[in-house]
């Protein structure tokens, strides 16, 4: 099939590369000429395991191209997949200007039947606005081409996006047009040969499903974090509690780990946008307002623990931070809990030395004007001259470090573990002051 992807951000690039890998001819459109040039030179703008190899082999095979030519992109594929950003507005609502601009471009240039596939995360009712935008452009030039609008939200986890796309647990399709539905079924057939994973529903249900999924996961995270804080007060161990409730098949073990709060490009934005949609519909979601408040508070927990140990005035002290990205296997710093911790440490007068296996370049750019923040090139280098260590992201290389070397390099053998990577008793036996989340210190 010939497919057009509008937007070469996280969703668009992964989707385009994986579709090309099954033999499709994919045209990736982006209006950012510098990004398109980089992609055509083989440089990938995001860190995502396995993605570079997929893009490279499909570029070499001629199955994926990157361009800024809007007219050519609309002419290329019957399926026009919109995967542009929907950043939050000041009121928390999703900004649809890029989605609607892409829809208008299709209406302006289409010369026959097209299916506009919304892959961007958008509020309920966006398909109606996309349909109106295309119809308006067709009317302006007196054209009468048929078209359909389908909702096909993505469910890709950063750090495992290629695997998620190639082996999806579900494919949500919102469509009220049989012709469009069949085209989308054909598109996804190679990814569900084992059994049918495609769930057909109304367009509005598909739009809501994406928000509901992310909101549910965010809720589990915030609930476990609040339980962890309670466990500390009551002398319980949140890890034991996690195993106890996770064994219930109605609950399960996923997303039950306590930590320093959620971040990234999806959960914070989608929780806000769903709340905004609910308010506009006259049915506010009080649970999500609590989830958001709990998450913002949780991002401050590590800083609070550090000040409780070293005092409110941290002037003259330096703290090592392991993990900057909001989760492992990505370089994404958006809404990352590490940024809240660093801000708290700086506000208390401290300096910071930080390390992340993937996000060093992004972090150096972010903190280039902050002389008290240094980005190290290795985990051990990060420790030099530091009073204590804070762990924010659970990268694999942090799970079994050289503890003797940690003790040697740190002025105070103290670990503030925002991901509960180590057993408290084992850390204490090695001579560390150990401050986990929701576990007896």
H or E segment to which residue 354 belongs? strand 351-355
For the chain, the distance separating the N- and C-terminal CA atoms, rounded to the nearest angstrom, is 58
Whole-structure pTM value: 0.93
* Number of DSSP helices (H) and strands (E) in the chain, helices first: 18, 14
Q: What are phi and psi of 245, to 5 degrees?
A: -80, -30
pLDDT at 184: 98
pLDDT in tens, 191-241: 998 888 999 999 999 999 999 999 999 999 999 999 999 999 999 999 999
28 in catalytic set: no
Overall size of the chain counted in residues = 441
**Rounded to an integer, what distance in angstroms lies between the CA atom of residue 412 and that of residue 311?**
14
Bridge partners (DSSP) of residue 5 are 28, 81
DSSP string for 128-183: HHHHHHHHHHHHHTT----EEEEE----PPTTSHHHHHHS-S-EEEE-S-HHHHHH
Tokens 């320093």, residue?
A: 260
**Rounded to an integer, what distance in angstroms lies between the CA atom of residue 170 and that of residue 426?**
41
Using 50 as the pLDDT threshold, list the residues of the chain that sit under it.
Answer: none
pLDDT at 250: 96
3-state secondary structure of 90: coil
Query: Do 82 and 120 touch, CB atoms closer than 8 A?
Result: yes
pLDDT in tens, 139-160: 999 999 999 999 999 999 999 9
Burial of 121 per CB tally in 10 Å (0-12, 13-18, 19+): buried
Question: Which tokens sit at 219?
Answer: 């809720």
| Catalytic position from the list 266, 318, 382, 386 | 266
pLDDT at 89: 84
Query: Do 99 and 118 touch, CB atoms closer than 8 A?
Result: yes
């Amino acid at each position: 099939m010939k497919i057009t992807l509008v937007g070469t951000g996280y969703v668009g690039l992964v989707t385009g590369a994986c579709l090309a890998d099954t033999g499709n001819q994919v045209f990736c459109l982006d209006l950012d000429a510098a990004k398109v040039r980089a992609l055509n030179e083989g440089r990938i703008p995001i860190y995502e395991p396995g993605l570079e190899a997929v893009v490279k082999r499909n570029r070499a095979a001629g199955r994926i191209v990157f361009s800024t030519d809007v007219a050519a992109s609309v002419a290329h594929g019957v399926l026009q997949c919109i995967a542009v950003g929907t950043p939050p507005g000041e009121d928390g609502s999703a900004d649809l200007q890029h989605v609607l601009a892409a829809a208008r471009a299709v209406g302006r240039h289409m010369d026959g039947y097209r299916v506009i596939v919304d892959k961007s995360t958008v509020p309920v009712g966006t398909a109606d606005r996309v349909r109106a935008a295309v119809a308006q452009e067709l009317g302006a030039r007196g054209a009468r081409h048929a078209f359909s609008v389908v909702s096909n939200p993505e469910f890709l986890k950063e750090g495992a996006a290629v695997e998620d796309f190639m082996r999806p647990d579900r494919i949500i399709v919102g469509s009220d047009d049989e012709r469009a539905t069949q085209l989308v079924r054909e598109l996804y057939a190679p990814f569900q040969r084992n059994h049918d994973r495609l769930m057909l529903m109304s367009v509005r249900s598909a739009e809501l499903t994406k928000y509901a999924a992310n909101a549910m996961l965010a809720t589990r995270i915030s609930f476990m974090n609040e339980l962890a804080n309670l466990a500390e007060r009551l002398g319980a161990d949140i890890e034991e509690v996690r195993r106890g409730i996770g064994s219930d098949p109605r609950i399960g073990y996923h997303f039950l780990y306590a930590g320093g709060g959620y971040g990234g490009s999806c959960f914070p934005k989608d929780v806000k946008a769903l709340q905004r949609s609910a308010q506009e519909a006259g049915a506010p979601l009080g649970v999500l307002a609590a989830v958001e408040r709990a998450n913002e508070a949780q991002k401050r927990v590590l800083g609070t623990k550090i000040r409780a140990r070293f005092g409110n005035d941290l002037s003259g002290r330096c703290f090592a931070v392991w993990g900057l990205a909001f989760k492992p296997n990505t370089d994404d710093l958006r809404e990352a809990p590490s940024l809240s911790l660093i801000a708290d440490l700086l506000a208390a007068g401290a300096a910071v030395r930080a390390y992340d296996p993937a996000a060093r370049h992004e972090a150096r750019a972010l903190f280039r004007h902050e002389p008290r923040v240094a980005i190290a090139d290795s985990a051990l280098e990060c420790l030099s001259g530091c009073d204590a260590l804070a762990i924010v992201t659970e990268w694999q290389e942090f799970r079994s470090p050289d503890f003797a070397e940690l003790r040697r390099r740190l002025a105070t053998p103290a670990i503030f573990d925002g991901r509960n990577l180590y057993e408290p008793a084992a850390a204490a036996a090695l001579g560390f002051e150990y401050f986990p989340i929701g576990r007896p210190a």
